[in-house]
Amino acid sequence: MTDPTNPGPAPAVPDDRARDDLAQVLVLNCGSSSVKYRLLAPSTGEVAATGLVERIGSPSARLEHRVPAGGTMARHEYEGPFEDHTAALDAVLAAFAEHGPDLDRAPLAAVGHRVVHGGTRFDGAVVVDDDLVAAVDELSVMAPLHNPANLVGIRTALAAFGDVPHVAVFDTAFHHTLPDRACTYAVPELWREKYGVRRYGFHGSSYAAVTREAAALLRRAPDRTNLVVLHLGNGASACAVEAGRSIDTTMGLTPVGGLMMGTRSGDVDPALCAHLARVAGLDAVQVERSLNSHSGLLALAGASDLREVQQRADAGDRSALLALDVYCYRIRCCVGAYSAALGRVDAVVFTGGVGENSARVRHDSITGLDRLGIVLDEQANTEGGRNDARRISRVGSPVQVLVVPTDEDREIGRQALAALRAPQ
């Protein structure tokens, strides 16, 4: 490998490969201690390989590489340690070489990188060059837990895959259509103008994909579709989509705001930090760490995985019951608020690991919203395949309720190819 800290210029864009319907994209999602990857054809969704390196830097680091085999996915595991992201990607390349597919022979058109924060600068996917790397580095102050890890992935992958173009796809880009009334915080002008204090929103790749799929399920064009989309996973947010465009969303300056999540608090009183400094001697970094990593379901129920919280609630655990109640109450309030903001709602859409798989959360989150035209079909809510997009609202309900599986990797692949096809 060459020096990953010096990516150099972006390689020439292979127009023919990018326009090929069989073109593949290697999607990389680098976290602070993990690398998720998927090799897929965005036009068909066909997956040629997928994998995860976790616990990078620890003795228990491991790599799982999966490839299609006889109608299922064959799993190949490697033990670490992988001391850093460079070593992790070296191991990924070795797994491809040993178990396939052969990346040298694959119709690889691009490497697509998930980047959490693009600020106000990036409203779409961008081919990676030196300026892009510098910009992502500058924006790390906006997402200190995410952008630095994304940047390590970009720099390392540029060294590993120097013969194909790389494209950055930003979580914030979908929300560039937020009107001023939705993205403006009522704080001093200096904060807004100099320090970029405003609402940005996240989960953009998921919202872009789910908006398109929900519109198709409703047999409407996306630009004629109004939705309240609930992306519920370990991270959770909601988005009001008007005519296919984001007009409001719950996450704000950072991904910690809005709905309650697995380990994140969601919205709290802005004066919380000063209060805890006075009464507990905690500084801002300690409070931020706790709001990100020790709050949410974990703080209320002792577990961040909603499946475990539900099991405890079913057994009568009072803490788990409270956690579920708070979780779903905040979602229900958000659905009501966004229905008011939109005026006309065609559908409420559940997506993400929790939204797609928890019938209980779906039920508890929208029960009582009949007057808004949102009426659940209880049988449909508890039935249906895990990977199926489907309606779960009562026949004749003015507002449809949908479950639409998200596929952020495929959306990143789509956007990466679109960026290569666009005039440079």
Residue 166 and residue 161: Cα distance in Å, rounded? 9
Question: What pLDDT shows up at residue 423?
Answer: 76
Please report where in the chains the tokens 């390392």 appear, as a residue.
156
Q: How many Cβ atoms from other residues are within 10 Å of residue 326's Cβ?
A: 16
Q: Is the peptide bond before 270 cis (omega within 30 degrees of 0)?
A: no
Q: CA torsion, points 316, 319, 324, 326, in degrees to nearest 10?
A: 140
Question: What pLDDT shows up at residue 385?
Answer: 66
Question: What pLDDT shows up at residue 119?
Answer: 94
Burial class (CB in 10 A: 0-12, 13-18, 19+), 359: middle
Residue 37 is which amino acid? Y
Residue 119 and residue 196: Cα distance in Å, rounded? 8
Note whether 15-170 and 220-408 share their fold.
Answer: yes
Q: Is the peptide bond before 101 cis (omega within 30 degrees of 0)?
A: yes
Please report where in the chains the tokens 């309606």 appear, as a residue.
391
**How many helices (H) and strands (E) are present in the chain, helices listed first?**
16, 14
Residue 410 is which amino acid? R
Residue 336 and residue 420: Cα distance in Å, rounded? 40
In the numeric block, which tokens belong to residue 329? 């109450």
- Give me the CATH topology for the region 220-408: Nucleotidyltransferase; domain 5 (3.30.420)
Is the separation of the CB atoms in 172 and 160 below 8 Å?
no
Burial class (CB in 10 A: 0-12, 13-18, 19+), 223: exposed
Weakly modelled stretches of the chain, pLDDT under 70: 1-20, 385-386, 424
Residue 113 and residue 413: Cα distance in Å, rounded? 9
Please report where in the chains the tokens 């996450």 appear, as a residue.
251
- Give residue limits of the domains in the chain: 15-170, 220-408
Buried (b) or exposed (e) across 249-282, using 16+ Cβ within 10 A? bbbbbbbbbbbbbbbbbbeeeeeebeebeeeeeb
Question: What pLDDT shows up at residue 160?
Answer: 83
Beta partners for residue 46, in sequence order: 41
Is the separation of the CB atoms in 11 and 164 below 8 Å?
yes
Around 34, how many Cα atoms within 13 Å sit in the side-chain half-sphere? 10
Which CATH superfamily is 15-170 part of? ATPase, nucleotide binding domain (3.30.420.40)
Nearest to 367 by CA among 405, 393, 339: 393
> pLDDT by residue (tens digit) across 186-198?
999 999 999 999 9
pTM of the model: 0.92
Q: Which residues are catalytic?
A: 171
Residue 62 and residue 69: Cα distance in Å, rounded? 22
Question: What pLDDT shows up at residue 387?
Answer: 74
